[in-house]
Amino acid sequence: MPKGQGMWPALWMLGSNFNSVGWPACGEIDIMEMIGGNGREKTVHGTVHWQHDGSQAQYGGDYSLPSGTLSDKFHVFSISWDAQSIRWLIDDQEYHVIDTSPAQLDEFRRSFFFIFNVAVGGNWPGSPDANTTFPQHMIVDYVRVFQSN
């Protein structure tokens, strides 16, 4: 994982109908976000975004490592997603869940695609500072998608 003030790595998914309905109506599932700097590099965030009554809505949770940072070693970031819920896990430990069965959350019963990125700066992490080193890297060892019948 990258580290340092202003770094914002993310593994996320966007609704495949993004081009026709726009965001947030397409839905967004943030599998993993980490905000760099100020001691925040030990916390993973998992969030969903959707449209509710014409406005953007979101629901998220987070998990902080008991020691160290997310950049110290590889971690397994997962979601378990079915017709009723989305569950977030880090290293097989569940830390957040949302019930997606209500009708207003039907975005999460449609197709999505993956996006992996490392943003630099932005409203949440703020700008890099003199202590932030470049280049930065986010190394993804593998991606697995399982579908049950």
Q: Which residues are catalytic?
A: 28, 33
CA dihedral 31, 93, 36, 73 (to 10 degrees): -110
Q: Which residues contact 41 (CB under 8 A, 6 or more apart)?
A: 1, 3, 34, 35, 69, 70, 71
